[in-house]
A and B are shown apart, each in its own frame.
Chain A
Amino acid sequence: MDKKTVSTIAYLSRLSLNEENGEKITKDLENIIKFVDQLENADTQNIEPLASPLEKTAKTRNDEVTAKNRKETFLERSPKSNDDYFLVPRVVE
């Protein structure tokens, strides 16, 4: 786990690390990855991965409209919106 790897995963996570916490977090990540590396020793040949303890596929339901249009309710919780849209800085020049 070097600085370059950490800055790549930080970018993938859309997080920026400053000088001060960057070094500490790099060291922590290195230790955590070292800690989880003990999984290597487990014999998992021919073992199917377990993604959820229920192992049931998601249930489907009838394709019926149940939700009401609550545009206003949701837009008013946005940090920035107009009557119809969530607003963000201009993307297309």
Chain B
Amino acid sequence: MSIQFKTINELSHMLKNKDISNKELIEETFSLIDTNTHLNAFVTLNKDASLLKAEELDKNPSSLALAGIPVAQKDLFCTKDLRTTCGSNMLSSFIPPYSATVIENLENAGCISVGKTNMDEFAMGSSNETSFYGNVQNPWGDKLVPGGSSGGSAAVVAAGIVPAASGTDTGGSIRQPASLCGISGLKPTYGRISRWGMIAFASSLDQAGPMARTAEDCALLLNEMCSHDHKDTTSLDEAIPDFTKDLNLPIKGLKIGLVKEFDLSKLDNEVVKVFEESKKQYESLGAEFIDISLPNISLSVPTYYVVAPAECSSNLSRFDGVKFGKRCDDPKDLEELYIKTRSEGFGDEVKRRILIGSYVLSAGFYDAYYKKAQQVRRLIKNDFDSAFKQIDVIMSPTTRGGAFEEGSKGDDPIQMYLEDLFTIPANLAGLPALSIPNGIVDNKPIGLQLIGNFLEESKLLQVAHNFQISTDWHKKTPNGDVKS
């Protein structure tokens, strides 16, 4: 029986029923990896250690929640003794001495980390075209981008190689690639998952989360990924519910907000049609739609492009060629060591963002840009706070359309930045948000975004799961429908 396109639950059942051994599951995963190398989705594989762990599980069966499940890890998480590049030449030979808390949590739940997935360099990009290790191919079509920055993670789940992958989301880096690859992905509330061991991009926005075939699998993963961690001072010390508990509760009477300021008339007609169909689906499930206004939301992208580069320029100052990572050859003095190392180690998009960050933080411009952006950030958060007094969740398309072709956004970075128009607001406000597949246009999947109130991941997952038990968009794959 093939393991391709199976969900976590299906694989767990196969393992429990002994339809397949742990070792066979991992061997088959690696043979799927071998037949899909054209995707360029992995930067580093973890084959020997994965097989060892599987053999161990065959000898000593485990009842852990995710025992034996193969998971791909975004190459932004530090993994002990396994190369971690963050998509950059700067870290091309970096072997971390410890694992990120979220990786430890997943592995302690029995997961097998089969490899590290390709990504935009330091998570800066929306198409996986900024990786030092080359573009990732979207399994849905030649030359189509998988989205970014968690492009490799999205591609390996979409291709059915693994049932799940980890991702991170600073401005949409889980939800946008999930949308472009036709899978489900969740960015939790800021602080739900520890950032310890995540290579920092913009610390007040970064959040890790699960990517999988279904909302149900995202819930299973989230149960294990969350923890309060004293090593991350922004880690939330809140009760962690069983995120699978409410999945099957009906959503009759649920109030869904539609944002007046999200102008859908500029989107492709077919994309709008897909959105309207999803609204009808939710209406038939008993949900009610309410128009809401988020007056400052149109300033989200410019706010983000001040806040994120500012934090990135500060975070990335640690890459100086002294303690770890790359160092240039034969520097004549310390200053040349810094400058040459950084100029050789970073790609153009990373340099652009560091430069913007240094500019908006520099004396004379700080108030006009950085402080101003932080003030607008509060206005945006206040808008959400008022809206959630009258609604349960907010619904929008995840992106402006389906996957685009490599190189098609041209030379203008702003065109690429606008790719995250619908996803950025949730990061600025720290709110949980997810994307699920809700249609196909021109043979390319389209995603639906749901944004929830603080700590309401359970409700978000319930709303998404209700959609998935009444539709089959999540069963579409590049190879046709998954048979259940």
Q: Which residues of A contact B357 (CB under 8 A)?
A: 13
**B326, B359, B377: the one within 8 Å of A33 (CB):** B359
Beta-carbon contact of B354 and A15 below 8 Å: yes
Beta-carbon contact of A25 and B230 below 8 Å: no
B429–chain A nearest beta-carbon distance, Å: 6
Beta-carbon contact of A51 and B374 below 8 Å: yes
Cα distance, A79 to B345, chains bound together (Å): 13
**A9, A44, A86, A89: the one within 8 Å of B359 (CB):** A9
Given contacts A13-B358, A39-B369, A89-B331, contact A61 B352 (CB under 8 A): no
A54 within 8 A of B: yes
Cα distance, A91 to B331, chains bound together (Å): 12
Q: Which residues of B contact A3 (CB under 8 A)?
A: none
Q: Which residues of B contact A89 (CB under 8 A)?
A: 331-334, 336-337
Q: Which residues of A contact B321 (CB under 8 A)?
A: 79
- Of the listed stretches B179-187, B301-309, B398-406, B466-474, chain A binds B301-309
Q: Which of A48, A78, A79 neighbours the largest number of chain B CB atoms within 10 Å of its CB?
A: A79
Cα distance, A31 to B302, chains bound together (Å): 12
Beta-carbon contact of A54 and B190 below 8 Å: yes
Closest to B237 in A: A59
A82–chain B nearest beta-carbon distance, Å: 14
Cα distance, A37 to B372, chains bound together (Å): 10
Q: Which residues of A contact B323 (CB under 8 A)?
A: 74, 77-78, 86
B385–chain A nearest beta-carbon distance, Å: 11
Beta-carbon contact of A16 and B339 below 8 Å: yes
A58 within 8 A of B: yes
Given contacts A39-B373, A42-B379, contact A33 B97 (CB under 8 A): no
**A15, A25, A28, A49: the one within 8 Å of B339 (CB):** A15
A69 within 8 A of B: no
Beta-carbon contact of A39 and B376 below 8 Å: yes
**B191, B303, B428: the one within 8 Å of A39 (CB):** B303
Cα distance, A80 to B355, chains bound together (Å): 28
Enumerate A30-78 residues with CB–CB distance to B below 8 Å. 31-33, 35-40, 42, 44, 47-54, 56, 58-59, 61, 70, 73-74, 77-78
Closest to A56 in B: B234
Q: Which of B296, B331, B335, B378 neighbours the largest number of chain A CB atoms within 10 Å of its CB?
A: B378
Beta-carbon contact of B343 and A78 below 8 Å: no
Q: Which residues of A contact B324 (CB under 8 A)?
A: 74, 77-79
How many A residues touch the partner, as a band? 35 or more
B301–chain A nearest beta-carbon distance, Å: 8
Enumerate A1-39 residues with CB–CB distance to B below 8 Å. 5-6, 9-10, 12-17, 21, 24-25, 28-29, 31-33, 35-39
A40–chain B nearest beta-carbon distance, Å: 7
B362 within 8 A of A: yes
Beta-carbon contact of B296 and A51 below 8 Å: no
A66–chain B nearest beta-carbon distance, Å: 9
B412 within 8 A of A: yes
B299 within 8 A of A: yes
Q: Which residues of B contact A29 (CB under 8 A)?
A: 352, 355-356, 359
**B306, B348, B371, B428: the one within 8 Å of A36 (CB):** B306
| Contact flags B84-111 to A (C-beta < 8 A → 1, else 0) | 0000000000110100000000000000
Cα distance, A42 to B338, chains bound together (Å): 39
Q: Which residues of A contact B190 (CB under 8 A)?
A: 52-54
Beta-carbon contact of B352 and A35 below 8 Å: no
Question: Which residues of A are in contact with B by a Cβ distance under 8 Å?
Answer: 5-6, 9-10, 12-17, 21, 24-25, 28-29, 31-33, 35-40, 42, 44, 47-54, 56, 58-59, 61, 70, 73-74, 77-80, 86, 88-91
30 A-B residue pairs with CB within 8 Å? A9-B355, A9-B362, A13-B313, A15-B355, A17-B351, A24-B411, A31-B412, A32-B305, A32-B356, A36-B369, A38-B299, A38-B302, A47-B375, A47-B378, A47-B379, A49-B374, A51-B374, A52-B204, A53-B190, A53-B431, A58-B233, A77-B97, A77-B323, A77-B324, A78-B323, A79-B326, A86-B323, A88-B322, A88-B337, A89-B334
Closest 8 pairs (CB-CB, A-B): A53-B430, A49-B374, A79-B327, A44-B375, A50-B378, A58-B233, A36-B302, A47-B375
